[in-house]
Amino acid sequence: KNEVEQSPQNLTAQEGEFITINCSYSVGISALHWLQQHPGGGIVSLFMLSSGKKKHGRLIATINIQEKHSSLHITASHPRDSAVYICAVRAGDSNYQLIWGAGTKLIIKP
Partner 1 sequence: GAGVSQTPSNKVTEKGKYVELRCDPISGHTALYWYRQSLGQGPEFLIYFQGTGAADDSGLPNDRFFAVRPEGSVSTLKIQRTERGDSAVYLCASSLTGVGSEAFFGQGTRLTVV
Binding site for partner 1 (CB under 8 A): 30-31, 33, 35, 41-45, 48, 50, 86, 88, 94-98, 100-103
Rounded-to-integer distance, Cα 11 and Cα 51, Å = 26
CA 31, 32, 38, 39 dihedral sign is positive
Cβ closer to partner 1: 75 or 94? Answer: 94
Instruction: Kindly state the smallest distance separating residue 104's Cβ from partner 1, in Å.
Output: 12
Instruction: Kindly state the smallest distance separating residue 66's Cβ from partner 1, in Å.
Output: 20
- C-alpha torsion angle, residues 66, 100, 103, 84 (rounded to 10): 110
Q: What residue type is assigned to position 27 of the chain?
A: V
Cβ closer to partner 1: 77 or 86? Answer: 86
Instruction: Kindly state the smallest distance separating residue 96's Cβ from partner 1, in Å.
Output: 5
What SS3 class is residue 100? Answer: strand
